[in-house]
Each structure stands twice: as structure tokens, then as C-alpha cells.
């Protein structure tokens, strides 16, 4: 989106060139004048296309900008700035001519709102540099939107002309809100009209609060920003409630979670801002991120039901797509993902509001017509319906119960598959699966057993309903596992009964997964029993379809967990050295960065040992590469057995190893290095292995902060120490 000038007056001039910036804050002389503005050539000034978000911020909150003011013919010149993040002082010829916000002695201040700024310029401003002192702990720092020089009259006329459309839409939205409240008090569809009122009211307040003309009404920027934030945070709540009402026949459960999540954020964010726990400005970026995610989720959820909705609902979806797209575009502009430009959110709000009003009125008309027709034919049909209901009551109850169980199970299975795909490990996935079986297996009682390690036994993970007191499986490790069938005492049935009915209880279902090392293995066993209580027998849910459905459910879950297991194994192999079983160099480099950052943050010592097998090439030449591989494995076993549980041993490549020792100072690290050296020197030949006697290692030790003050050079220092150990004759330990 390309930004055009704000105002139509020909005297308006955009300041788009000649900008420079400088990080930090200027010192001031005794007269309170900034030295950077008095010494224009001093310091490091850098060119920038627009005075916003210079590169290489690195957490800094103070920046200066400057620009040389051009010549022009203005009667009452002002410098117009659309917005500033967050507070600003403006200097001309060393004198402050404008200030918004209060700078303390450290050059910092509090957020006081996002108004537009009109800075008075003296008649002789042409050719002089103008300096901007800015503080911001927000995601953006600097000026935002348009920066122009124009006459004051043109400024006010432009603001009014730009705001009139938003104010008109806001007035229309307010009228809709009042009418919706009136209908909600007298009509049956109260929730629907209440949602319309909430949406229209929030849109109207947001448009008024965000229009620039609001400051001409009451010059209270922070007040208007609180109103805008409250209305802005309410919009997704209202939209989700509206869509939940309009699409209620499709049961979009995710919509309910979305409006509740946004309601919690609305109350929490505004509450903490009002209590002074956070700045109001800091509540916008998290909300924008949340809105972007929930908007996509909401839209995807709605699109999935596109074929099942009617024309009116499709119109609502299309209008919502327009409004959501404009909101996302406005958000992208606000976070500098797109060039500056005005996004007509008010147009989207107007279209959405008009669609809601039209459909609401149409629904109202249809409802009244339906009620009239229903009352007209009710007396005639009531007798006939009563007789039919008596005949179909039992069958309908069974069918409704079965459909409810099937629908709930399908929905839970869909949600569970998504959650399983997001798990980080197979253990986490199996634990989640066991915890969700109660929803999948309703109305049956049962127990779930799971194997959290491939080589471990089955453990009792979950128990629900009212299963019998006798447990068919032991609580911990099983020596034998029943096949996927029905487990009745000591008798196993692997097939359905000949008459087509499901076998007698309890049912036994398996969760079977593939493994690269041992083929398929049983990761879980589920034992199910008949539901307990009066009137809850097989007739209520048809045991045969339920049994087959549960079998298919377990197969779908097994497919998802199998992909999770494969992903976990591939990730493990990417960080593991195949020969020694140690972590590889890739893992070591990532771990070193993490431990360096952790040590710097916690100010705890960190030691690194770099180990090299002495004369390993000669060993390979004398005994062959198979013997060399055996020697590498033997050295790796010594290193693993002689380090602490908190230490990590990695193979860097070839005959070089590394030991990272978090929390270890220089002396413990040297002692450990010597212990490793002696352990390798004591190696003997195995019964079928090569001669390892005489195999030695050299060790370089570096510790922070004992042997080096620069923790980022820890690896280099340890490598230099290893080189020194080799120079000292090998088979020794050397410290930096």
C-alpha cells in the first residue's frame, strides 16, 4: 500500500529526505541545551530514509533524529507528525520548541498516548536543522505516518476531512447498537441482538477514539487511547459471538474458545494498564499477535463449514473476511510490515454492520412468519404427532444417543490428533493419549496401560467410569500382552461372534507402533467394560458399531503417534554420533551457545575440556580402521563413565572430543581432566578387541571466569590449551 499525502492543500510538503539518526541520548550544558544540537558535526550521525526504527537497535530506548528544514511559502507554518513512539522533544537552534511527555534525568519517561502533533515553526526556520529527542520502550521507536510542513488552517481542515467518514460510520454503528439493545429486550433472539449491539458499539467507539478529530473534541490522548484499546480488544469478542450465533447449526466449538480467550485478554490487559503494572502501549503487540492467530484459526474453522452453510451465512463469512483482511492489513501497517498508508477499516466495519442488520431483519421476519404458521397448524398436527412420538420414542432415543456419542467421539478424535501432532516426544504423545481416552471411550468404563519406554513395561496410566475391582493386567510390568481382541478372564477372543454382535466384555484394544530397532511394539493397551447403571445397556449404543469405531480410532491415533515417533528418532539421530553414541558437533555448538548465555546470566562458572587422542593416525595405520573405531568407542565409554551427571560429552569429529561442565570452576575441571586422562591410560585390550594399552589423550582446559574473562572465547582458549598440551609432550592436561 502506497502512502499518499494526508491533505489536499498544495502548500503541504512531505519531509521524506535528508533524515539522519544517532543512537543514545545527548548530554546537556548548564543552560539545559543538548550538546548534539549545538555541535551538529560531532558524533556518529547516519543517514536514514524515514525517521523510524533505525537498524541495530539492540534494546536501546533513546534515539535522536535530525533534518534540515526546507524553504517554502507558508503563512502560519506548523510541522505535522501523525504519531511518535513514544515521547519526544524538538529542538531548533539549540532551543526546545516542543515537548510531548516528560523526560527524567535518565532521558526516559512514561507512555502518555498516541496523539498527532502540530509543532509551531518560527518564520526563519528555513535551512536550519531540526532535532528530535525520542524515548521509546515500545516495539517501534521514532516518528510514524506522515511528517509534513503546512499551514495551520490546512492542518485542521485536513484532519476534519479525513475524520468525517469514520465519524459518520461510528454514528451509524451507534444507532445500530441502540436498535439492537432495544430488540434484545423484547425479542426472543436476545443473544443474537446483544452480540450485534456489542459489535456495533465497540466498532463505533473504536472509530471515534482512533479518528484524529477526537483530539479536537477533548485533548486527552491517553483517555482516547484507553477507549480505542478497550473497543479494539472487544472487536474479536463481538465478532466471535456473532459468528457463533449465525453459525450455531454447525457447532463451531473453536469460536467459543476464541471469544473467551479474547475476553480474558481484554480484562487482563486493561486491568493491568489501569493499575500501572504495564504501559498501555505494551498491550497492543501481544494482542495483535493473538488477533492474527485467532483470526486465521477462526476463518479456517468457518471455511471448513462452507459447504454446510446457507446463502445468508456465506454472506456473513464473506463480510467477515473483508473486515478481517482490513484489520490484518491495518495491523501490518502499524507494525511496519507494510509501508505507511491509511487502511479503510471503517468501510469493512460498515459492510459487516449492514450485512448483520439486513440478515437480522430477515431472520426476524422469517421468525414471525414461522411462528404464525406454526400456531395455525399446531392444533391440527398435535394429535398425530403424539401418536407417532409414542411409537418412535424408544427408537429415537437410541438413535440420538448413538449419534451424540459418535459426534462427540469424532470431534474429540479430531482435536486429539491435532494435539498429538504438536507434541514434542512420543512419551508426551502417549501420556496425552491415555489422558483423553475417557472422552473417546464413553459410555464405557475402562483402564489404559501404556509403555513410556520401548524397552519398559506397561504401566497403568488412566482409569475411568466404574471398572470391576479385579484388574485384568498387573499394575506395572507385563510379561505377556493380550492380542487385540476381547479379554475375558483367561480366555482371549480374536473374532466377533458369528451372529454379528460384538463379543462379550471386557474389550481389549491395542496401540501398536513401529520401531526402527525392534519392529512393531505394543505401546498401549485399553481394556473396556460395559457401562454401569440402570438403563445403560448395549441397546443404547449398539455395541458392534461402537467396537468397530473404537478399533478405527486406535488405528488413526497409532498413525499419528507413528509419525511422531519417526520425527523424534530422526531428531535424535541428527544430534548423535553413530559410532560412539555421543552427541555430535552440531549438538555441541548449540549447547555451548546455550550454556554460555546461561552462565553469563546466572554468573556461575563454566568449564570446557577439549580432548584429542594422541597419535591416533599412527594407531590407525598400525592396527587398521576397525581397531581405530574400537579405540574411539573405548575412549568415549571412559569419558561417559568418568564425568558428572550434569556434564555433557560430545565428539567434535575424528579423534577430538569435548566435555562441557556447567557450574565447574578451574580446579574441579582440572581434576576431572586428569581423571579422564588416567582413565584412558589404564585402558586394556578386550578379549576380541585391539590392543589399547598405551593409548593416551591430551586435554586442554578453559574455565570462565578463572582462566578467561571473555566467555565468548571459551572454545578458542580451550583449543589453545590443547595445543599447549601437545607441545608439552602429549598425555597431559594443560590449562589456559
Q: Which residues contact 676 (CB under 8 A, 6 or more apart)?
A: 609, 611, 638, 639, 642, 643, 659, 697, 699
Q: Are 98 and 117 in contact (CB under 8 A)?
A: yes
Higher pLDDT, 555 or 52: 52
Residue 304: pLDDT above 50?
yes
Higher pLDDT, 407 or 494: 407
Taking the C-alpha atoms of residue 612 and residue 731, their distance in angstroms, rounded to an integer, is 9
Average pLDDT of span 624-628: 85
User: If pLDDT is split at 50, 70 and 90, which confidence band does 136 have?
Assistant: very high
Reported as a single tens digit per residue, the pLDDT across 197-243 is 888 888 888 888 888 888 888 888 889 888 888 888 888 888 888 77
Reported as a single tens digit per residue, the pLDDT across 232-281 is 888 888 888 877 776 666 656 777 888 888 889 989 988 998 898 888 88
Taking the C-alpha atoms of residue 327 and residue 633, their distance in angstroms, rounded to an integer, is 60
Q: Which DSSP string do the residues of 265-331 spell out, in sequence order? A: HHHHHHHHHHTTSS-GGGGHHHHHHHHHHHHHHHHHHHHTTGGGS-HHHHHHHHHHHHHHHHHHHHH
User: If pLDDT is split at 50, 70 and 90, which confidence band does 88 have?
Assistant: very high
Q: Report DSSP state, residue 582.
A: S
Phi and psi at residue 590, to the nearest 5°? -70, -40
> Which H or E element spans position 99?
strand 95-100
pLDDT for residue 687: 47
Taking the C-alpha atoms of residue 163 and residue 210, their distance in angstroms, rounded to an integer, is 9
User: If pLDDT is split at 50, 70 and 90, which confidence band does 415 have?
Assistant: confident
Higher pLDDT, 409 or 292: 292
Average pLDDT of span 687-709: 80
Residue 497: pLDDT above 50?
no
Residue 141: pLDDT above 70?
yes
Q: Are strands 491-493 and 606-613 parallel, antiparallel or unpaired?
A: unpaired
> Which H or E element spans position 487?
strand 486-488
Please report, for residues 433, 514, 527, the alpha-carbon distance to residue 449 in angstroms, rounded to integers and kept in the order given: 11, 18, 8
Taking the C-alpha atoms of residue 60 and residue 629, their distance in angstroms, rounded to an integer, is 52
Distance of CA 580 to the CA centre of its chain: 37
> Alpha-carbon Rg of the chain, whole angstroms?
36
Q: Are 610 and 602 in contact (CB under 8 A)?
A: no
Reported as a single tens digit per residue, the pLDDT across 714-736 is 999 999 999 999 999 899 999 87
Higher pLDDT, 298 or 128: 128
Residue 558: pLDDT above 70?
yes
Higher pLDDT, 301 or 24: 24
What SS3 string covers 643-683?
A: CCCCCEEEEEECCEEEEEEECCCHHHHHHHHHHHHHHHHCC
Residue 526: pLDDT above 80?
yes
Residue 350: pLDDT above 80?
no
Reported as a single tens digit per residue, the pLDDT across 438-496 is 777 877 888 888 887 766 677 788 888 776 655 555 444 444 566 665 544 433 344 44
If you average pLDDT over every residue of the chain, what do you get? 80
Amino acid at each position: 500500500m502506497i502512502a499518499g499525502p494526508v491533505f489536499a492543500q498544495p502548500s503541504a510538503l512531505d519531509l521524506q529526505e535528508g533524515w539522519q539518526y544517532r543512537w543514545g541520548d545527548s548530554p546537556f550544558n548548564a543552560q539545559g541545551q543538548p550538546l548534539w544540537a549545538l555541535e551538529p558535526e560531532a558524533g556518529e550521525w547516519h543517514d536514514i530514509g524515514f525517521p523510524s526504527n533505525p537498524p541495530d537497535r539492540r534494546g536501546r530506548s533513546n534515539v535522536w533524529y535530525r533534518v534540515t528544514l526546507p524553504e517554502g511559502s507558508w503563512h502560519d507554518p506548523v510541522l505535522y507528525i501523525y504519531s511518535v513512539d513514544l515521547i519526544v522533544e524538538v529542538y531548533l537552534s539549540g532551543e526546545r520548541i516542543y515537548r510531548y511527555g516528560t523526560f527524567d534525568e535518565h532521558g526516559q519517561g512514561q507512555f502518555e498516548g498516541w496523539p498527532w502533533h502540530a509543532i509551531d515553526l518560527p518564520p526563519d526556520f528555513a535551512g536550519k536543522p531540526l532535532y528530535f529527542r525520542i524515548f521509546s520502550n515500545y516495539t517501534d521507536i521514532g516518528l510514524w505516518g506522515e511528517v509534513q510542513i503546512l499551514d495551520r488552517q490546512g492542518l485542521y481542515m485536513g484532519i476534519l476531512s479525513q475524520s468525517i467518514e469514520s465519524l459518520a460510520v461510528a454514528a451509524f454503528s451507534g444507532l445500530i447498537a441502540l436498535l439492537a439493545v432495544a430488540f434484545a429486550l423484547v425479542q426472543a433472539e436476545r443473544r443474537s441482538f446483544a452480540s450485534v449491539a456489542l459489535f456495533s458499539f465497540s466498532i463505533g467507539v473504536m472509530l471515534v477514539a482512533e479518528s484524529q478529530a477526537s483530539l479536537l473534541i477533548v485533548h486527552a490522548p491517553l483517555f482516547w487511547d484507553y477507549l480505542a484499546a478497550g473497543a479494539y480488544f472487544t472487536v474479536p469478542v463481538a465478532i466471535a459471538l456473532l459468528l457463533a450465533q449465525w453459525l450455531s447449526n454447525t457447532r463451531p466449538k473453536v469460536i467459543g474458545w476464541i471469544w473467551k480467550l479474547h475476553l480474558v485478554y481484554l480484562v487482563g490487559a486493561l486491568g493491568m494498564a489501569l493499575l500501572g503494572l504495564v504501559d498501555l502501549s505494551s498491550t497492543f503487540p501481544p494482542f495483535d499477535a493473538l488477533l492474527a492467530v485467532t483470526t486465521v484459526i477462526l476463518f479456517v474453522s468457518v471455511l471448513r463449514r462452507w459447504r454446510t452453510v446457507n446463502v445468508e451465512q456465506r454472506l456473513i463469512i464473506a463480510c467477515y473476511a473483508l473486515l478481517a483482511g482490513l484489520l490484518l492489513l491495518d495491523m501490518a501497517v502499524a507494525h511496519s510490515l507494510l509501508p505507511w498508508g491509511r487502511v479503510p477499516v471503517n468501510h469493512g466495519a460498515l459492510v459487516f454492520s449492514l450485512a448483520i442488520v439486513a440478515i437480522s431483519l430477515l431472520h426476524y421476519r422469517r421468525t414471525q412468519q414461522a411462528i404464525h404458521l406454526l400456531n395455525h397448524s399446531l392444533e391440527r398436527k398435535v394429535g398425530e404427532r403424539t401418536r407417532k412420538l409414542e411409537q418412535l420414542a424408544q427408537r429415537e432415543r437410541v438413535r440420538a444417543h448413538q449419534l451424540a456419542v459418535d459426534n462427540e467421539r469424532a470431534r474429540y478424535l479430531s482435536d486429539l490428533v491435532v494435539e498429538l501432532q504438536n507434541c514434542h516426544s512420543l512419551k508426551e504423545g502417549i501420556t496425552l493419549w491415555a489422558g483423553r481416552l475417557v472422552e473417546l471411550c464413553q459410555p464405557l468404563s475402562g483402564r489404559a496401560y501404556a509403555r513410556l519406554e520401548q524397552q519398559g513395561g506397561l504401566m497403568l496410566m488412566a482409569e475411568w467410569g466404574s471398572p470391576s475391582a479385579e484388574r485384568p493386567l498387573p499394575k506395572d510390568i507385563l510379561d505377556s500382552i493380550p492380542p487385540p481382541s476381547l479379554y475375558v478372564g483367561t480366555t482371549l477372543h480374536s473374532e466377533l461372534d458369528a451372529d454379528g454382535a460384538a463379543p462379550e466384555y471386557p474389550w481389549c484394544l491395542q496401540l501398536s507402533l513401529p520401531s526402527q530397532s525392534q519392529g512393531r511394539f505394543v505401546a498401549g493397551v485399553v481394556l473396556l467394560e460395559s457401562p454401569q447403571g440402570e438403563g445403560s445397556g448395549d441397546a443404547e449404543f449398539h455395541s458392534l458399531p461402537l467396537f468397530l469405531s473404537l478399533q478405527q480410532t486406535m488405528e488413526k491415533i497409532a498413525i499419528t503417534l507413528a509419525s511422531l515417533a519417526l520425527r523424534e528418532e530422526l531428531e535424535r539421530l541428527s544430534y548423535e554420533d553413530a559410532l560412539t553414541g555421543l552427541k555430535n558437533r552440531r549438538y555441541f555448538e548449540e549447547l555451548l551457545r546455550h550454556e554460555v548465555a546461561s552462565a553469563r546470566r546466572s554468573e556461575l562458572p563454566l568449564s570446557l575440556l577439549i580432548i584429542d587422542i594422541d597419535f591416533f593416525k599412527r594407531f590407525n595405520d598400525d592396527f587398521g580402521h576397525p581397531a581405530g573405531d574400537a579405540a574411539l568407542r573405548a575412549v568415549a565409554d571412559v569419558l561417559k563413565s568418568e564425568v558428572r551427571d550434569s556434564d555433557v560429552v560430545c565428539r567434535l569429529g575424528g579423534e577430538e572430543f569435548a566435555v562441557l561442565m556447567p557450574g565447574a570452576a578451574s580446579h574441579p575441571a582440572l581434576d576431572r581432566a586428569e581423571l579422564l586422562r588416567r582413565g584412558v591410560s589404564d585402558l586394556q585390550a578386550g578379549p576380541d578387541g585391539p590392543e589399547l594399552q598405551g593409548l593416551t589423550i591430551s586435554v586442554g582446559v578453559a574455565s570462565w571466569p578463572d582462566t578467561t574473562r571473555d566467555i565468548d572465547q571459551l572454545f578458542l582458549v580451550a583449543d589453545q590449551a590443547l595445543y599447549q598440551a601437545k607441545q608439552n609432550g602429549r598425555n597431559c592436561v594443560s590449562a589456559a
